[in-house]
Structure 1
Amino acid sequence: MNNAFLCCGILLAAGRGRRFDPTGQQHKLLQTLSSGTSVITTSAQHLQQALPLSIAVIAQTPDAIRLALDALQVPTYPCLDADLGMAHSLRTGLQHLPDGVDGFIIALADMPFVSVQSIEAIRDCLSAGAEIVVPVYAGQRGNPVGFSKKYVDQLLRLEGDRGARQLLQSAPVTEIVLHDAGILQDIDRPEDML
């Protein structure tokens, strides 16, 4: 790994999780996993362990998400138009990248099962010169995804709810095979908590 390579984690945590609870009573990121910690805390801890320089994009509510991230000392930035799609949350994160970063990894807060080692592997691949890194498990692409800083401008122009997928279909991508089913496991419904 290139020790001079500065990589930042961007945790996208601004979604409402309507599929988890259409009534809005229970936010999926605040649910407790079998480990005893919440979804948001686990996702943030894994990202922070691999990338001490990490930030999070949140919605304006609920405050409990911000408080959980504050407890981990992860800087948070509210996305005022998060309801318009993931690209807006991503844009907020990119606008708050610290100066001097060489690359960044976009992680989804509803994916707490991604291992620290997987995030480190993506970081190391970026550090070795890859410009976009996508993890693969059992032949399927997953998350998080790593980018060289050269893609900031293109990502800032994205719109809608597809996030960075548009760019992944048109730019050269380095796939790395990982033995981590967590890169495919998100929490959309209560049964996904198991």
Structure 2
Amino acid sequence: MTAAGKIVGVLLAAGLGRRFGSDKRLQPLADGTPLALAAARSLRAGCDEVLVVLRPGDAALAALLIAADCRVIYCAEAEQGMGHSLAAGVRASPAAAGWLIALADMPAIAPASHVAVAEALRRGASIAVPTFAGQRGHPVGFAARWRAELAAVQGDHGARQLLQGAPSEIEFVTLDDPGILADIDTPADLAAMPAVDWEKMAKITPRPA
């Protein structure tokens, strides 16, 4: 597959996580896997490449992610909001056929859910949004036509305004996966995280590039 045909997963992992009380990205899950690494592995199952956006100085986490076949970039403007990290990830993958925008604090998303959203893009969806029980979740997929808009996103709202301005472009992907709604902001969120089959997650086979 050529670079121009790749679906790239952009994992936003540059947040400070102040509400958690410590660096939640390195928080070990039930099987000992750091939270952000689990999210990256699941995302990798559906994408041809995973690009993780970190903040400068995240050397320890970067090493774990690189060992897991992820590409790492650093966003100096990350503290100004998630939108800056998203834009940096898109700018770093200009030849992609589309992107899955995912969050590092959502490790309970099933690999099959990432596959389903990516496949919607491969079938020609302009924007692919997963849902569970009528609620929108993550990751959100964008086709290459949105490159310029995504590369210009700023602030702390990610691509929310883009989605609000293009409702007719959205294809909803209905999933049976509560993990697409489960973001981890506090230790209580982690304790309430939907059950994950860690043995199955450990056996994830990355999509061949």
Q: Common fold, TM-score beyond 0.5?
A: yes
- 1:110 corresponds to which of 105, 108, 119: 105
- 1:122 corresponds to which of 117, 122, 126: 117
1:19-168 equivalences under 5 Å are 19-21=19-21, 26-97=22-93, 99=95, 101-168=96-163
Q: State the match for 2:6 in structure 1.
A: 6
Cα distance in 1, alignment partners of residues 48 and 173 from structure 2: 22
The CA deviation string for residues 40-76 of structure 1, in whole angstroms up to 9 with x for no partner, is 1101111112214111100113322112112213110
- Structure with more of its chain in helix, by fraction: 2
Matched letter for residue 181 of structure 1: P
**How far is the alpha carbon of 1:157 from its aligned partner?**
2.2
Cα distance in 1, alignment partners of residues 157 and 104 from structure 2: 16
Q: State the match for 2:171 in structure 1.
A: 174
**How far is the alpha carbon of 1:98 from its aligned partner?**
5.4
Q: Which stretches in structure 1 are left out of the alignment for 5+ residues?
A: none
Q: Which stretches in structure 2 are left out of the alignment for 5+ residues?
A: 192-209
Runs of 4+ residues deviating >6 angstroms:
none
Indicate the SS of the match to 1:50.
Answer: coil
**How far is the alpha carbon of 1:192 from its aligned partner?**
1.5
1:185 equivalent in alignment to 2:182: yes
Indicate the SS of the match to 1:11.
Answer: strand
Q: Structure 1 length normalisation: TM-score?
A: 0.92
Indicate the SS of the match to 1:121.
Answer: helix
Contact 1:134/1:173 (<8 A) preserved: yes
Cα distance in 2, alignment partners of residues 162 and 61 from structure 1: 24
Cα distance in 1, alignment partners of residues 79 and 5 from structure 2: 34
Q: Structure 2 length normalisation: TM-score?
A: 0.85
Contact 1:55/1:93 (<8 A) preserved: yes
Contact 2:45/2:114 (<8 A) preserved: no
Matched letter for residue 13 of structure 1: A
How well do the aligned residues superpose, as a CA RMSD in angstroms? 1.3
Indicate the SS of the match to 1:40.
Answer: helix
